[in-house]
């Protein structure tokens, strides 16, 4: 059985560094959340920098009917010449007039709005009264000073938790954004296992929030949901301890843990999952050939790093040089840490220049890093895999294990394929 294969690994203490951090702020999460919940609008209250960030990150998508925007603070707002609350009310009214079909409006806090202590919680309460019955207004922070990249999703989902209806009914609740096709597949498999009620947070429509209560078994699909998990547990949900559903092994353990928590017997679990495992391994095999024995260095970005490192080491045979993560929640990461190879060097936080120094000294075969570093490292002769893609690709589940491995094998294959002499 899988759980017995979990090594109680001994890891050296993580390297804790502080210095320049080359990461996104939580506002970036808007780029995928607006697609998950098309009936929501994300209004950032911030500066021109915030607006510039989102349009640079969202690239070409900005031009469809906009689902996000920025209320840019001006000098009058800072000098107190304009009442920021009145200004916000005016802009929201203007926005809702233009986009009457919006059902949920997220007021997203930024560094400037937090530094000047603009109370967006109060503003959303007030706006909720003004537009009652038409639109729900909630607020969360996506600021760089508080959140790193995917933590923006954590903070958005956490803001949704109080609005979830209460229910004691037994159910499995999957938290964390999944690609639609992956979600359908996983829900289908859970139903095959005999779990009738499976709900997702975030839902596809912001108005169709799942219920939560003492009957809820909470299964995290993403490792960056510390705040959301706590808030759901506070509402009575029980947190299932599992690794994250990356790769064949992680996904099987994840599904099996959920099934056990929902009272499914072991024979049923094996009957449903074992054929998938066999097929998943077959899909992995060609990629493993490329990746096996290659040395991997992951820079901090999304908190997906420990789980991905575990998959790449155990299932693809890669050697881990350093596994960076912007933030390490030891409780939520416990099952992953236990599966990491002995001696794996983790690092939490970042001093990017020092870390790049370590990258250069180690000369790994593949560096997982952000787009600010990828081309410069390629130019230094190192193969890179840009990490943001992992948040935008369907990578969860046994059936996606081959695709996930392919994302890492592709840059290595490409390097092998290109010839200029």
Cβ pair 194, 263 in contact under 8 A: no
Nearer CB in complex with other proteins: 320/390: 390
24 binds other proteins (CB under 8 A): yes
Nearer CB in complex with other proteins: 324/370: 370
Position among 1, 16, 74, 192 found at the interface with other proteins (CB under 8 A): 74
Among 248, 190, 182, which Cα is nearest to 219's?
190
How many residues in the shown chain lie near other proteins by CB under 8 A?
Answer: 63
Stretch that binds other proteins, among 58-66, 240-248, 263-271, 332-340 (CB under 8 A): 58-66
Q: Cβ 355 to other proteins, closest distance in Å?
A: 13
Instruction: Convert residues 111-140 into a mask of x (bound to other proteins by CB under 8 A) and - (unbound).
Output: xx-xxx------------------------
| CA-atom Rg of the chain in angstroms | 22
Stretch that binds other proteins, among 5-13, 56-64, 209-217, 316-324 (CB under 8 A): 56-64
Stretch that binds other proteins, among 85-93, 132-140, 249-257, 330-338 (CB under 8 A): 85-93
Instruction: Please give the DSSP secondary-structure letter assigned to residue 114.
Output: H
Stretch that binds other proteins, among 49-57, 124-132, 160-168, 222-230 (CB under 8 A): 49-57
Among 104, 87, 322, which Cα is nearest to 207's?
104
Question: Alpha helices of 193-242 — where are they, by DSSP H?
Answer: 226-234
Q: How far apart are alpha carbons 388 and 241 in whole angstroms?
A: 26
Q: Which residues contact 43 (CB under 8 A, 6 or more apart)?
A: 68, 69, 70, 71, 91, 92, 95, 105, 106, 107, 108
Among 140, 198, 180, which Cα is nearest to 38's?
180
Residues facing 41 on adjacent strands: 105
Q: How far apart are alpha carbons 149 and 390 in whole angstroms?
A: 12
Nearer CB in complex with other proteins: 146/270: 146
412 binds other proteins (CB under 8 A): no
List residues binding other proteins (CB under 8 A).
19-28, 45, 47-49, 51-53, 55-57, 59-60, 62-63, 66, 68-75, 77-78, 82, 84, 87-88, 90-91, 94-95, 111-112, 114-116, 143-146, 148, 353, 370-376, 378-379
């Amino acid at each position: 059985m899988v759980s017995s294969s979990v090594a109680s690994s001994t890891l050296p203490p993580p390297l804790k560094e502080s210095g320049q951090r080359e990461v996104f702020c939580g506002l970036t999460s808007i780029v995928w959340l607006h697609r998950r919940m098309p009936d929501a609008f994300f209004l950032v209250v911030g500066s021109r920098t915030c607006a510039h960030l989102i349009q640079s990150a969202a690239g070409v998508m900005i031009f469809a009917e906009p689902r996000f925007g920025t209320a840019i603070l001006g000098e009058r707002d800072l000098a107190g010449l304009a009442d920021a609350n009145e200004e916000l009310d005016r802009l929201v009214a203007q926005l809702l007039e233009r986009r009457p079909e919006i059902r949920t409006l997220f007021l997203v806090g930024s560094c400037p709005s937090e530094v000047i202590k603009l109370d967006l919680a109060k503003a959303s309460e007030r706006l909720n009264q003004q537009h009652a019955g038409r639109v729900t207004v909630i607020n969360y922070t996506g600021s760089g000073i508080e959140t790193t990249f995917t933590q923006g999703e954590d903070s958005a989902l956490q803001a949704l938790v109080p609005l979830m209806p209460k229910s004691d009914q037994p159910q499995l609740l999957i938290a964390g954004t999944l690609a639609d096709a992956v979600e359908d597949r996983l829900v289908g498999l859970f139903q095959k296992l005999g779990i009738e009620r499976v709900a997702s947070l975030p839902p596809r429509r912001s108005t169709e929030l799942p219920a939560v209560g003492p009957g809820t078994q909470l299964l995290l699909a993403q490792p960056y949901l510390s705040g959301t998990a706590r808030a759901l547990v506070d509402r009575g949900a029980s947190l299932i301890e599992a690794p994250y559903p990356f790769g064949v092994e992680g996904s099987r353990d994840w599904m099996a843990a959920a099934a056990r928590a929902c009272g499914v017997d072991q024979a049923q679990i094996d009957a449903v999952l074992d054929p998938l495992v066999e097929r998943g391994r077959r899909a992995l095999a060609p990629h493993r050939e490329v990746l096996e024995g290659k040395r991997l260095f992951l820079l901090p970005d999304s908190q997906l790093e420990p789980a991905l490192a575990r998959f790449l080491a155990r299932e693809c045979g890669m050697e881990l040089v350093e596994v960076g993560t912007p933030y390490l929640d030891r409780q939520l990461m416990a099952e992953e840490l236990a599966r990491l190879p002995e001696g794996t060097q983790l690092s939490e936080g970042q001093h990017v220049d020092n870390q790049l120094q370590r990258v250069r000294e180690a000369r790994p075969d593949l560096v997982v890093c952000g787009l600010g570093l990828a081309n410069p490292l390629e130019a230094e002769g190192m193969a890179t895999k840009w990490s943001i893609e992992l948040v935008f690709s369907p990578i969860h589940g046994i059936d996606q294990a081959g695709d996930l491995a392919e994302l890492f094998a592709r840059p290595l294959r490409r390097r092998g394929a290109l010839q200029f002499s």
